[in-house]
Structures are given as C-alpha cells and as structure tokens.
Structure 1
C-alpha cells in the first residue's frame, strides 16, 4: 500500500508538468496569433476611422447636389423665356402709356380691339379671329407682301389715325386703270366687303391674339406708376418660381 501511494505521488507532478507545458504552448500560440492579426486589425481600424472622419456637411451636400443636365438647352430656354416676358412687359407699357399709333417695338405693334367685326361666323374656316376687349400684336410688313387669308391692319384712309384689322379676301394688281397692289378685305362677322385698300394704307399683319386684357391695359393707362411696379413684381415672382422649380 505504501509503495502504491509513493507511485501516485511520483506520477502527479508529471501530469502537472504536462499540463503546464500544454498551457505554455497555448500561450505562445496566442501571442503568435495576436502578432499576425495585429496588422489586419490595424487596417480595419484605419478604415473605420476614415469612415468616421467623413464630415456630415459633405454627406448633406451630396444629397442636394445634382449635376447640371442639358446646360445648353436650359440656357436657350431661359433666353427665350426672359426675352418673351420682357417683350410683353415693355410692349404693354408702351401701348398703355403712349397715344402715338405709329410707335412699334422691334417691328411689332399692340392694338386694342374695340368691335366684334372679326368674331368668326364659321370658326372651322375663319381661323385667327378675335373679340372686343382682346389685344392683338401686329407685325410691320411691306404693303404689297400680304396674301389672301391674312389678317391685316390698315388705315381706312391714308391720313386716318384710326385702324381696321380685317381679313384679306382678294389681292389685286390694279384697281380700274390705276396700277398697284390693292386688297379687298372683310371682317369675319361682316356680311359686306370693305372699300379697297391701297398697299400704302397697310400697316402690318396680325400674328398673336391676347384675349381679354383690354380692360387691364386701360387700367395701366390710368395708373401708370402702380401698374409698372406691379408688372416688375410679377416678373420677379415668375423668375423666383422658375429658379425654385429648376433647382429642386
């Protein structure tokens, strides 16, 4: 019995040494693994730091920054849009503030319609008619360049300060024995033809009808300063709205 106990005592430290050896090996392996894994962890840490270092302002800017699309077409559209608005404002102001009927803006004149002589009886055939209270834009033309079917503005007589705007029904190269260009005109709502018109009496050709703003222009004529301020404000408002829509 005594000998067996001695044997057991001798065997116990051997096991402990084996365990200590195994634990030492494990510790060495852990150190080696940690040494090999350190650069990878450093790389991951540097990546995470870079991601964290991205400022919030840049992220916000990326959300709202849009690359410009079709800059050439937008520039062309802006030029046409602003030119048309300015043309309309300037033309309306000149029309409303001047009593000189011979004035034109870039070769165009504005006339207020006072009668319903050009209200079409047959809208399918008589196109381009207008009503009293409308405003028509007339382009200056050479007297002999109008054709049948055109709506022309002319003076009833050479010295007349009034104007008529009717449709050309017939074009003549002489009237009786007198040579020259003459026009037979008639209002779309009229049943009778007008007196023949000489080419010297022709002022221009109707190009655009602006409906129902005659009353507005009469108001402008009576309240010039207020109306000009209002028109400039409307122009600025339209500009701001367009800028907001395009940049959204």
Structure 2
C-alpha cells in the first residue's frame, strides 16, 4: 500500500478513536452523575445530551432524536429558542414562548397548551444540535454491555494502527 494510504488510515483511526473516546468519557461521566444522584441531566464541558422520548416537539424534533444542549448565560434565552429544562420527573425539551425577567413560558410545538412557568435557572441549556434517530444507539451505549462494547471498539481501533503496520516476515533468499 502506498505511504499516503497508510497516513490516511492513521489519521482516520485517530479521529474515530478520539470521537469514541469522548463518547465513552461522556457516557461514563453521565452514568456516574445519575447513579450517585448528583443530577438527572449531566453536563460535560458545558454540553449535555438528551434522547427525546415524546412527540411533543414534532415535527422539529422527533422521538429518539438526540438533542445536544449547551449551557448559555440566563440572560440570553429568548422567544423561539428550544431549551431543555428541569421538570419534576425528567428533563423536558420545548420551545420558549415568552421570557419575562427570570420567568419563562415554554410549549411543545405539537402541544395545544403552554407548560407551567419555569425560571431561567431551571433551564439546563439551549438546543444547539438535533441528531435524528441516534437515540436508539445511544440508549444501548449507555447500558453496561454497550459501554463495554464501546470501550472494546475504542481499544481495537487504537490498536489496529499497530496491527496494520506490523513488519512482515522476510522471504528466504535461496
């Protein structure tokens, strides 16, 4: 194989390993945070993720989409922003209808009625990215077996660089 092809494989393996590493670290961090009761919505480096479990934001956000949430200063929330906030039982992702001081009214796009008022301090963050249907995979990766497969995959990708560049046996010259 030409030298350029080997370099591309090395770069790709580093990129994939780095992404899988961040996913693994984020999942382990989130798992520890939830299991120790520190939070129901872990934020890692100012970002959190949620798997959408209802159709209240349809068609903008569908069931099993992933929302990536970024913590922003409370004064920056405005009408039209989609945010994830703390409710009694679980995080909710809805669109802001109005902001008056530190009181925010939200509503799911598919819902007829607005939600109960919340405070800006109840907002985990603003939705900055929606990844369709990735929730199916992410739910599995948050399970112990999924975490083990992810860690094994990360090690395999990391080690594959060594496997690809092992010196080959020299042919006997007779």
- TM bucket normalised to smaller: 0.5 to 0.7
Equivalent position to 1:90, from 25, 30, 36: 25
Where does residue 7 of structure 2 map in the other structure? Answer: none
Mapping 1:1-248, distance limit 5 Å: 84=19, 86-95=21-30, 99=34, 100-120=39-59, 129-156=60-87, 160-173=88-101, 181-220=102-141, 221-232=143-154, 235-236=157-158
The offset of 1:97, in angstroms, is: 6.4
**Does the Cα contact within 8 Å between 1:138 and 1:208 map onto a contact in 2?**
yes
The offset of 1:144, in angstroms, is: 3.0
SS of the residue corresponding to residue 147 of structure 1 reads: coil
If asked which structure has higher relative contact order (CA below 8 Å, sep 6+), I would say 2
The offset of 1:161, in angstroms, is: 4.6
- TM-score, length-normalised on structure 1? 0.50
Whole-angstrom CA distance in 2 between matches of 1:81 and 1:222: 21
**Does the Cα contact within 8 Å between 2:20 and 2:150 map onto a contact in 1?**
no
Gaps (5+ residues) in structure 1? 1-63, 67-74, 121-128, 174-180, 241-248
- TM-score, length-normalised on structure 2? 0.68
Greater helix proportion: 1
Task: Flag the 1:206–1:234 CA change in 2: closer, same or farther, 3 A.
Answer: farther
Aligned pair count?
151
Q: For the pair shown, which has the larger CA radius of gyration, 1 or 2?
A: 1
SS of the residue corresponding to residue 96 of structure 2 reads: strand
Task: Flag the 1:163–1:81 CA change in 2: closer, same or farther, 3 A.
Answer: same
Whole-angstrom CA distance in 2 between matches of 1:119 and 1:138: 18
Greater strand proportion: 2
**Does the Cα contact within 8 Å between 1:89 and 1:231 map onto a contact in 2?**
no
RMSD of aligned Cα (Å): 3.4
